[in-house]
Structure formats: C-alpha cells, structure tokens
Amino acid sequence: MKILVCISNVPDTTSKINFTDNDTKFDTNGVQFVINPNDEFGLTRAMWFKEKQSATVHIASVGDATVEATMRKALAIGADEAIRVNAVPTDGFFVAQQLANIVKEGAYDLVIAGRESIDYNGGMVPGIMASLLDMNFVNTCISLDVDGTNATAFREIDGGKEKIATSLPLIIGGQKGLVEESDLRIPNMRGIMMARQKKLTVIEPVDGINATKDTKFTKPAAKGAVKLASSVDELITLLHNEAKVI
C-alpha cells in the first residue's frame, strides 16, 4: 500500500500572533512552526500501516523553503520520502490542486490529510482533492483500518459516530481520535539523523486557481475587566443587576 500524508506547516498554539502591512499580512517573526495537529494524527496512523502492513509512506506539503524543517520532523518520525511544492499556500483550492497533482502522478492508494489546519481552519483541502481526483472520501475520520483494497472507517457526526465501509483508493480528512494522543511520536536521535539522508523532492507548482484572497486580519476583542465577588450573595447581586443573566 502506498500512502501520502499531507502536511501543513502551522504556528504553534503558544505563539504570539501579530499582523503587518495594515493587518493584511501575517507576521511570522518569532513564530515557531509545527506539524498541523490533525496531520500529525494522520502521520502516526500511517506509521502504523507502515509497521503492520509494510506500507510505503510519503509526505507532501505546499510551501517555500521554510516548511522543510517541519517536513524533516515528519521524516524523522518515520516517513520514507517527502515532496514539497514550491509555492506559498495562500488559498485552499490552490493547495488542493497541487496536492491532487502529486496524488495523480504518484498513484497513491491512500491519502491522509488533516480535517483542517489550525491556522486558517478552512476545512476544504481534502474534500476538494477527492472531488478533483474522483476518489472515495471520508471526512472527520476518527478510525481507519485497511484490509487489501477494502477499508473500514469511523467518522465523527453530530451526537455520535458513523461506521463506513469503502474501498481504495481513498482520501480521508483525519482528526483527533485517528490515534490516541499518547500514540503520537517524538523523533528520536536515530530518526533525526536518518531524516537528513531521506529524499526531499522540490517541485514547481502546476497552474492553479487562487479562488480566495485574504484582505484583512482582525484579532479577537480584548478580554474585559474582571470583578471578583467576595461572597455568594454579592455574586448573585452582580449576576442579577450588572450581568443581567439571572
């Protein structure tokens, strides 16, 4: 089985976020970038297929040279090869087109992408890829098993989960639950050293469409002042007279 794991390079959630050029561009200065958490769950599941079913695992990302540190981490975790599309990912449709081209050229059986990235939260890339490639698609996937060309998946739905039987080739939009958080892997020294020798291919983007454009960013409103109540009676009075919630 040949697997492609799509990797997004996203800011660490502890990073301080700022914008430049009149709030039209994201300021990357001082920001630590990591593997998108939803993608990391997918990568860990791919490693399970590699170890249990002798699958071949490649990773792909759309970005400039700055994403290669994150890709090397994925290689250190255990992926066999990496492909970077040399383009800045400004639009989900454009990213999906680039990744779809890699899938088509590489003849992958299984494509694992995160349900969404934690920076822009578009949640569109895996679904658009499946549409462009006319492949089976399971979104919000929290469990996946493959037996030959048959696949069994569970996906999260409102109020529960749904079991789906499908077949390869398949694209999934994975998320937390695809593996347990305790199963996520930290690269060891041997993996880091081996990652330096693994193949990382840089390709130029195919002609694509940027369907959307970011025009302005706005930070959430600052938190209001906090008033502490010294007793239950005072708390009730404040909730009734000032907050007017009771």
Percent of the chain topping pLDDT 90: 82
Does residue 224 have a pLDDT over 90?
no
Separation CA 241–CA 15 (nearest Å): 38
Is position 131 within any domain? yes
Separation CA 13–CA 92 (nearest Å): 21
Residue range 230-240: mean pLDDT, rounded: 91
Which residues form the domain of 70? Answer: 2-218
Q: What is the pLDDT of residue 227?
A: 84
Is position 108 within any domain? yes
CATH number where 95 lies: 3.40.50.620
Instruction: With cut-offs at 50, 70 and 90, classify the pLDDT of residue 20.
Output: very high
Strand partners, 192: none
Neighbours of 246 (CB within 10 A): 8
Place of tokens 């098993």: 145
What is the per-residue pLDDT across 146-190, written as a single tens digit (0 to 9) for each? 999 999 999 999 999 999 999 999 999 999 999 999 999 999 999
Q: Where are the beta strands (DSSP E) in the chain?
A: 2-6, 9-11, 18-20, 25-27, 33-35, 56-62, 81-85, 110-114, 136-147, 150-157, 160-167, 170-174, 200-203
Separation CA 25–CA 31 (nearest Å): 14
Does residue 127 have a pLDDT over 90?
yes
Number of domains in the chain: 1
Is position 42 within any domain? yes
**pLDDT, averaged across the chain:** 94
